[in-house]
Amino acid sequence: MRCKHWIFILGASILVAGCAQKREGNAPSPVGDAQQAASNALATLQKLVTEQNYKSLGFSSVDEVKSAALAAPLAMFNIGLDRLKSYQAGQDANALLTASSETIYPVTAGGQVRSSVTVVKKEGGYTTASFGNAEVVKGLSRYRSENLPNAFAVRVPALSLYFLGNRIENRLMLTPIAEDSRIPFRVGLAVPAEEVLKAIVPLAQAYNGLPM
């Protein structure tokens, strides 16, 4: 298993993904407010960071996490494999987006984005989904700005791709947040979603089901 450098809540245990390290304990109880769930998750994260995992979770030291704070959240949208495979040029790219039950909260320390907590909406309310995912949240935050107050995260799970999304007069724009040899776009430069889809549809059609 490739080490993904984030921590997932799985049932009644916490798993450091890819590192085969479990911590037993009760999963957080759902609450009615996403912000409160994120605050609870941050408090848990501060307890989980150790000398062994602080770097993989995005922090520069164990002490740094003590001053960690939540930044403005990003809604998450997914582009599913089946919809991507069947996309045809000229179709509305917005129609491919499916709202996720997850909301990602960047975690800052010393004024810099270091990590994240992700909360998920379930029937009983909001609860913690994961911690960490530092490189993704740093990329999303890097290209977010005051000029994009309604920006959101776009994830293509099957291809392990993330983009920062926003709309200009209802036209979906996608900003690549990391270098990827599979797509011919500059990191940090917003591109019409139709162009991105044209580039990744062949990847989806050739996808063999194995982890990227």
pLDDT tens-digit profile of 21-79?
Answer: 333 344 567 888 999 999 999 999 999 999 999 999 999 999 999 999 999 999 999 99
Residue whose C-alpha is closest to residue 77's, from 4, 190, 142, 174: 174
Number of H-type helices and E-type strands within the chain: 4, 12
Average pLDDT over residues 172-177: 96
Listed in sequence order, the residues at least 6 apart from 86 whose beta carbon sits closer than 8 Å to its beta carbon are: none
pLDDT of residue 208: 86
Single pTM value for the model: 0.84
Q: Across the chain, what does the average pLDDT equal?
A: 86
Q: Are 164 and 153 in contact (CB under 8 A)?
A: yes
Give residue 148's pLDDT. 77
Mean pLDDT calculated for residue range 147-168: 93
Cβ-Cβ contacts under 8 Å for 124 (sequence gap 6 or more): 30
